[in-house]
């Protein structure tokens, strides 16, 4: 089977190179992007990615003018890093020095830089050496002619990211959680923000070859958003996002290698999106299904409690769901008349209500009596001794 062969790197030299490169890229983009996600600046990465295009084109023009090979990957990536950096600084400057908000700055920079890049691509088309340049492949990525040295560039970029993350994880987390607090500890928030952006830029530039500049934002953001479903700790989130990105890169590359003419970059992104959808639905604590089940249980508790209070007050239970719930527990008969068990349970509910009345009179402190929400069992809030005291006062005549 073609997919299995691709998964075990048996689909030829190029396919194996692409799969390994995509996995490394996925790891570095996923982990680098998680700080952007934590800092709530995910969209900056989109502007950075689009700002790479004029750099690629300019680098090509410069290299050709100097008489070299315009398609040298290292040169092109260097050029893309320069304009991506400029775009980043432009966003920073606009949102710090003017009254425009960051999203407006992102929109402006993204449009201007990308537009300029497209113009330059058209210029290159008219150059004699430009027709075979194939720079358009940087838009959506292309793995057809991937070389060993390309894979080395990606591996180098990935290693750099992991190193920076390992070194700056604590400051970057601090700034993402609360920039003012980080500043009060003496951290330079601006420099740390630039480091986060630098990581993102590195992943973007390195990812241009495989995923392309339009879709790289997906590789930066989707893994960390997916990871958020699986952990409540930022320290783990970063590496889970890296792992998810790596898996998406590897699986996506293998998938596209196993079927002729499937584009690699978009397939990688779709695999990442599939992992995201699975997590969104099935994650144990934060997933959609878990939340629905939780809500369902909560609803049952509310109905049970209200039903018992109605039984105690000898009110009729009108809601069918409440009746079914109590009947299933054997607390009422099918016609709504309470059984012996039902009466006992109702009496217990009434006693707890009376205990709460006393408790709220004794404890003005809302830290305790504030938990009188109808559902929280009194045994969870007060000790048996305290409850015994409430019962003693309940027996005594009402005193004010």
Binding residues for another protein (CB under 8 A): 38, 40, 167-168, 170-171, 173-174, 176-178, 180-181, 183-186, 228, 231-235, 237, 364-368, 370
Contact 215, 265 (CB under 8 A): yes
Closer by beta carbon to another protein, 170 or else 295:
170
Minimum CB–partner distance for residue 239 and another protein (Å): 13
Give the residue ranges of DSSP H helices in the chain. 2-7, 13-38, 44-50, 52-65, 73-97, 102-126, 137-140, 148-177, 179-184, 189-207, 216-228, 234-258, 264-282, 288-312, 320-328, 340-362, 366-369, 378-381, 384-395
DSSP state of 131: T
Closer by beta carbon to another protein, 62 or else 285:
285
- State how far the Cα of 205 lies from the Cα of 77, in Å rounded to an integer: 6
- State how far the Cα of 208 lies from the Cα of 52, in Å rounded to an integer: 9
Minimum CB–partner distance for residue 378 and another protein (Å): 18
Indicate the SS3 state at residue 314: coil
Minimum CB–partner distance for residue 187 and another protein (Å): 8
CA distance to 194, 198, 215, per residue, from 353 (Å):
58, 60, 59
Minimum CB–partner distance for residue 283 and another protein (Å): 13
Minimum CB–partner distance for residue 357 and another protein (Å): 20
- State how far the Cα of 60 lies from the Cα of 243, in Å rounded to an integer: 34
Closer by beta carbon to another protein, 162 or else 326:
162
- State how far the Cα of 110 lies from the Cα of 88, in Å rounded to an integer: 10
Closer by beta carbon to another protein, 236 or else 301:
236
- State how far the Cα of 346 lies from the Cα of 247, in Å rounded to an integer: 55
Minimum CB–partner distance for residue 184 and another protein (Å): 4
Minimum CB–partner distance for residue 236 and another protein (Å): 8
Closer by beta carbon to another protein, 19 or else 227:
227
């Amino acid at each position: 089977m073609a997919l299995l062969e691709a998964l075990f790197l048996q689909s030829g030299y190029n396919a194996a190179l692409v799969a390994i490169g995509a996995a490394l890229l996925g790891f570095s983009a996923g982990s680098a992007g998680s700080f952007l996600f934590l800092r709530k600046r995910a969209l900056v990465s989109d502007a950075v990615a689009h700002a790479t295009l004029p750099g690629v084109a300019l680098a090509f023009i410069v290299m050709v003018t100097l008489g070299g090979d315009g398609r040298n990957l290292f040169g092109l990536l260097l050029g893309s890093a320069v304009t991506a950096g400029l775009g980043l600084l432009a966003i920073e400057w606009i949102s710090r020095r003017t009254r425009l908000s960051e999203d407006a700055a992102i929109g402006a920079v993204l449009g201007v830089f990308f537009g300029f890049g497209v113009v330059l691509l058209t210029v290159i088309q008219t150059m004699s050496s430009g027709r075979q340049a194939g720079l358009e492949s940087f838009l959506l990525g292309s793995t057809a002619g991937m070389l060993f040295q390309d894979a080395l560039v990606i591996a180098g970029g990935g290693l750099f990211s992991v190193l920076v993350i390992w070194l700056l994880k604590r400051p970057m987390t601090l700034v993402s959680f609360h920039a003012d607090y980080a500043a009060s500890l003496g951290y330079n928030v601006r420099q740390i923000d630039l480091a986060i952006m630098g990581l993102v830029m590195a992943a973007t530039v390195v990812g241009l070859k495989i995923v392309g500049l339009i879709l790289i934002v997906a590789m930066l953001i989707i893994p960390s958003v997916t990871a958020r479903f699986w952990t409540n700790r930022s320290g783990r989130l970063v590496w889970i996002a890296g792992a998810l990105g790596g898996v998406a890169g590897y699986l996506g590359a293998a998938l596209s290698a196993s079927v002729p003419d499937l584009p690699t970059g978009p397939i990688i992104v779709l695999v990442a999106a599939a992992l995201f959808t699975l997590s969104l639905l099935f994650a144990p604590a934060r997933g959609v299904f878990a939340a629905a089940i939780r809500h369902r249980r909560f609803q049952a508790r509310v109905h049970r409690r209200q039903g018992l209070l109605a039984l105690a007050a000898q009110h009729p239970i009108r809601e069918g769901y409440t009746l079914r719930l109590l009947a299933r527990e054997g607390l009422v008969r099918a016609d709504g008349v309470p059984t012996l068990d039902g009466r006992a349970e109702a009496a217990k509910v009434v006693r707890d209500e009376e205990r709460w009345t006393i408790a709220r009179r004794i404890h003005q402190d809302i830290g305790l009596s504030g938990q009188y929400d109808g559902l929280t069992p009194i045994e969870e809030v007060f000790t048996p001794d305290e409850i015994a005291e409430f019962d003693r006062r309940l027996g005594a005549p009402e005193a004010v």
